[in-house]
Structure 1
Amino acid sequence: MDGQQAAGRAARILMASIWPAFVMAGVLEGLVFSVIDPQDLHWFGGEAIEWSRSAIYSVSFLIFWLVTTIACSMTALLVQLPDHEEPGRRSAPNWPR
């Protein structure tokens, strides 16, 4: 595999990870903040977080997005087959590469 193919493969993995992670970050945001009021959040030491609601929503969305992107990327990388398959090894047709 040459450099251009590797870059294309990496771009496909990245895009296949970012979009579902974006959607799931929105779902997580809705689930978490339907139960928790952002003004009731406290730092680890017990001091209240004095940010606006929209700042808390934004930062938490970005954190959810980052974590789910990492999880999606790891999954996409783990399902990749090696470039050179072993002789006699069978794989399903159209298996992700």
Structure 2
Amino acid sequence: MRKQKLMWVAWPAFLTACGLELLVFALIDPQDLHWSGQPLGWSRQAVYTAAFFAFWGICMVSSMLTVMLSSSSAELNQSGLSRDSRGDVSPP
């Protein structure tokens, strides 16, 4: 089930990151980027790569939150440990 949920997160995030990459760099030239008033000094491919992974990471966080919020409380609280092994004290 974890592999399936990982794909629910990774694949839509990948596709969204691709779309964002196309949109952003259709409007912005990587050679015109500046950091603290200085030219960035990276190649275009380096800027494209760094931006893609940044977009993908942000989209993955968004997708993970969506999966987490759509999960039931039983799925979220399931840890594989019994109540006694976690040190929980049941009421008398």
Fold shared per TM-score above 0.5: yes
Tell me the percent identity.
41
Distance, in Å, in 1 between the alignment partners of 2:47 and 2:39 is 12
Counterpart of 1:94 in structure 2 is none
Find 1:64's aligned residue among 55, 76, 84: 55
Summarize the alignment of residues 6-85 of structure 1 with structure 2, pairs less than 5 Å apart.
8=1, 10-43=2-35, 45-83=36-74
RMSD over aligned Cα atoms: 1.3
Deviations along 1:51-89, one digit per CA (max 9) or x if unpaired, are 1101100010000000000100011100111228xxxxx
Could you say which structure has the larger radius of gyration?
2
Structure 2 unaligned residues grouped into runs of 5+: 76-92
TM-score for the superposition, normalised by structure 1 = 0.73
Distance, in Å, in 1 between the alignment partners of 2:74 and 2:29 is 49
Secondary structure of 2:38's match? coil
Aligned length: 75
Distance, in Å, in 1 between the alignment partners of 2:7 and 2:18 is 17
What letter is aligned with 2:28?
I
What letter is aligned with 1:11?
K
